[in-house]
Structure 1
Amino acid sequence: MIGEPELDGEQGWEGERAGPHGAGHEEAERARGARPPWVWVLLTAAAVSVLWAVGLYAFGDRLAAPPLSYRATTNLCEDFRAEALGRIAGDLHRNRKVNQESGHPAVDGAVCLLQSGQEVSTLVVRAHVDLHKKTDPEAEFDVPALGEGIGGAAPDSEPVPGLGERAFVTREAHGAASMLKVLDGGAVFTVRASGFVNNDGVPAADPAVLRKALIDDTRRLMADLKERKR
């Protein structure tokens, strides 16, 4: 009489054995050699971790804090003289100034707002300095500010050679405002000047004159905030 097959813990069902070289033996060998799916998951995760570590090591210089070449300002409106811009619309320091500084473990920031008039201004200037103490700002330097180009044509930008590590001037489409942005020594300098446009659509300040004044005053500010080596 044929009995029920007996369960063999090593080679499967007793009734399916086909000898040491039969099909049952081969399937048992494959079963013993196969790894559970979670083992492959762990091995894949380990490999990815190794590659990630290698990537961090290879690009560590980009992730590391940049060597700062500038000092934090305690009063940007005092350090930012804006003499060249003042020759366009009058002394920008004679009227009310808005000054603000902030200290943070990652970034020291400072903002100064100047205007040519007390009630009505022909020129408004905003200077902004950020000292990045944790990560290099180079990767984000070319990211446009939110809102640029909204409601009209995208602004025109051109590089400024010989100023910091990288610099460019952006001029808005209608020509009434220009912005200079400079990256150097872990710091980002941004100076924006905006004026009025007359009824004929002509800006109060010649764009070429405004561009040169932005560069001259920002260069002077960078020299004044330059960290002196002891």
Structure 2
Amino acid sequence: MISDPELDGTGETRSAEPAEQAEEPPPREGEAGARRPWRWALGGAVIASAVWAGGLYAFGDRLAAPELPYRATENLCQDFEARALGKIAGDLHRYRPTSQHDDHPAVRRAVCSLQNGESISTLTVRAQVDLHRKTDPGPEFDVPSTWVFAEGGGVRTEEVRGLGERALLLVGPREMSVELKVLHGGAVFTVEATGAASEQGTQADTAALRAAVVADGRALLAALKK
């Protein structure tokens, strides 16, 4: 029930003093520690999740690093002999072979550029090796290279069996531009060859060029094999 307000000496009413905040009753028997352990459990779950996520990220990073069954090279022109292509156009190492390399943490790249003439060439060749250290290049292997765009479209693609994990041969619309792409683990090999068309037609020359590019690409993989 509600009690009457108290009176002070002046005749004015005075409200009762607010009651002190009641202490939280102790937990009943069987409930001891039932209100706080869930906080520890929640904190432990968060920590465990963070540790698990960190471990999964580290483990996933190791899984993402592709296998590299090929060694790196700082002078690709020494390893890329281009003997088959040389039989078509002469010694390709005679006229200033140019070798470049870039040791990037993600991709180690080596490039060799060859030609069979000093100022005028009837055949130019470019070999490139990309060793991917961090991520698998497989999902991007089918992405068209800048060579395809330079050819202006109309590139024909053929699959080459028995070379790496996957190998594609791209023949340009001029029938004398050929590019070989080979994927093996984290390594991507590229051999490009561009020659001048003959007046009698290019069908026979194209067949020889395609065979030479594949042969020299195969020899390059063997030369850099660990």
Structure 2-normalised TM-score? 0.70
Q: How far apart, CA to CA, are the structure 2 residues paired with 1:196 and 1:78?
A: 26
The 5 Å alignment of 1:191-206 reads 191-198=191-198, 202-203=201-202, 206=205
The alpha carbon displacement at 1:185 in A equals: 2.5
Q: Secondary structure at 1:206's aligned position in 2?
A: helix
The 5 Å alignment of 1:205-220 reads 206-220=205-219
Unaligned runs of 5+ in 1: 1-52
**1:169 maps onto 2:169 in alignment:** yes
Q: CA RMSD in A?
A: 2.7
The alpha carbon displacement at 1:211 in A equals: 1.0
Q: How far apart, CA to CA, are the structure 2 residues paired with 1:146 and 1:223?
A: 26
**In the alignment, which residue of structure 2 is the partner of 1:185?**
185
Q: How far apart, CA to CA, are the structure 2 residues paired with 1:197 and 1:146?
A: 22
The alpha carbon displacement at 1:176 in A equals: 1.7
Unaligned runs of 5+ in 2: 1-52
**In the alignment, which residue of structure 2 is the partner of 1:100?**
100
The alpha carbon displacement at 1:148 in A equals: 2.3
Name the % identity: 56
Describe the shift of the 1:62–1:166 C-alpha distance in structure 2 as closer, same or farther (beyond 3 A): farther
Contact 1:198 1:204 in 2 (8 A): no
Q: How far apart, CA to CA, are the structure 2 residues paired with 1:76 and 1:218?
A: 12
Deviates more, 1:134-143 or 1:151-160: 151-160
Deviates more, 1:158-167 or 1:91-100: 91-100
Aligned length in residues: 174
The 5 Å alignment of 1:4-153 reads 60=60, 64-146=64-146, 148-149=148-149, 152-153=152-153
Contact 2:176 2:209 in 1 (8 A): no
The alpha carbon displacement at 1:154 in A equals: 2.0
Structure 1-normalised TM-score? 0.69
Q: How far apart, CA to CA, are the structure 1 residues paired with 2:117 and 2:223?
A: 26
Letter in 1 for 2:103: G
Letter in 2 for 1:91: D
The alpha carbon displacement at 1:153 in A equals: 4.0
Q: How far apart, CA to CA, are the structure 1 residues paired with 2:151 and 2:185?
A: 35
Contact 1:149 1:155 in 2 (8 A): no
Q: How far apart, CA to CA, are the structure 2 residues paired with 1:79 and 1:119?
A: 25
Describe the shift of the 1:153–1:64 C-alpha distance in structure 2 as closer, same or farther (beyond 3 A): closer
**In the alignment, which residue of structure 1 is the partner of 2:26?**
none
The alpha carbon displacement at 1:146 in A equals: 3.6
Contact 1:181 1:190 in 2 (8 A): yes
Q: How far apart, CA to CA, are the structure 2 residues paired with 1:165 and 1:223?
A: 14
The alpha carbon displacement at 1:62 in A equals: 10
- In terms of Rg, which structure is larger? 2
Letter in 2 for 1:104: H
**In the alignment, which residue of structure 1 is the partner of 2:154?**
154
